[in-house]
Amino acid sequence: MIDKLDICTKALGLRKELGEDTTSPIDIFSLAHTIPQ
């Protein structure tokens, strides 16, 4: 079963890593272009 708390924690960590704050909506497509390949 998927642990919602674990998903939330990982999402917050990813937001920090990409320089986003924890409350604003994110545009996943624009962020995808900033991730090194």
Q: What is the pLDDT of residues 14-27, one digit of tens each?
A: 888 878 887 778 77
CB 8 within 8 A of CB 19: no
pLDDT category, 37, cuts 50, 70, 90? Answer: low
Cα–Cα distance for residue pair 37/20, rounded to 1 Å: 19
Q: Can you give the pLDDT at residue 20? A: 80
Average of per-residue pLDDT values in the chain: 81
State mean pLDDT over 5-32.
Answer: 82
Residue 13, domain extent: 1-37
CB 22 within 8 A of CB 12: yes
Q: How many domains does the chain have?
A: 1
Q: Can you give the pLDDT at residue 28? A: 75
